[in-house]
A and B are shown apart, each in its own frame.
Chain A
Amino acid sequence: GENVEQHPSTLSVQEGDSAVIKCTYSDSASNYFPWYKQELGKRPQLIIDIRSNVGEKKDQRIAVTLNKTAKHFSLHITETQPEDSAVYFCAASREDTGRRALTFGSGTRLQVQP
């Protein structure tokens, strides 16, 4: 089955700096890659996603890049703010199968220092 590895496990940045979180996946057939943000005690919330036919996607201060050849994808947050502090999870799935379930990375705890 799919295996998703995520790095780093913790990341501390100064407010205004950029943050980058990286994930690798094992199943070359995976074709959908979402990122979730989870605040303490809350449910995971989808913040951005990318499909395998796209190399990059942006939404205001966040962007995701995908390298299918290397089987890795990254989340980029620019101009970080204290409210960006949370745990971020990457995930991968195959959208061409019946299951269509997500395999998650182990998470990155991002702390933005004011």
Chain B
Amino acid sequence: NAGVTQTPKFRVLKTGQSMTLLCAQDMNHEYMYWYRQDPGMGLRLIHYSVGEGTTAKGEVPDGYNVSRLKKQNFLLGLESAAPSQTSVYFCASRFATSQYFGPGTRLLVL
């Protein structure tokens, strides 16, 4: 039981490049979330999913897209990376009221 995992752990992108962050959970949770964490700020919700095949926007969705084709995976895409997207990205899944976070992906956009 690996819990929530994220791939990659760290990535450097140039402005305009694209990439996909993968979140995987093996706990059969329905709800999954993507947050970003910036210095001096709490975690802010980017997108979320309440089940396989469904996604919805959070507080800061601009510049990101997501997909939930399989229940265990929640993908976060950046089509054209910008320096403002430099951040630490955390994925989480949820059971009952508890959210379980992945280890995070540190993204640097130059």
Residues of A within 8 A of B (CB): 1, 4, 6, 9, 32, 34, 42-46, 49, 51, 89, 91, 95, 98-107
Q: B95-107 CB contact bits vs A (8 Å, 1 = yes)?
A: 0011101111000
A105 to B101 Cα, complex, angstroms? 17
Is B22 engaged at the interface, CB distance under 8 Å to the other chain?
no
Identify which of B40, B58, B101 contacts A44 (C-beta below 8 A).
B101
Q: Which of B20-46 contact A (CB under 8 A)?
A: 31, 33, 40-45
Closest CB of chain A to B56's CB: distance in Å? 7
22 contacts between A and B (CB under 8 A): A6-B42, A34-B99, A43-B103, A44-B90, A45-B101, A46-B98, A46-B99, A49-B97, A51-B97, A89-B43, A98-B50, A99-B48, A100-B50, A100-B94, A100-B97, A101-B48, A101-B58, A103-B59, A106-B40, A106-B42, A107-B40, A107-B41
Distance (Å) between the CB of A64 and the closest chain B CB? 14
Using A51-B97, A101-B45 as known contacts, list a sample of 9 further A-B pairs with CB atoms less than 8 Å apart, ordered by residue number in A: A4-B42, A6-B42, A32-B97, A34-B99, A43-B102, A46-B99, A100-B94, A104-B42, A105-B42
Interface size on B, residues (CB 8 A): 22
**Distance A102 CA – B94 CA, assembled complex (angstroms):** 11
- Contact partners of B56 in chain A: CB under 8 A: 99
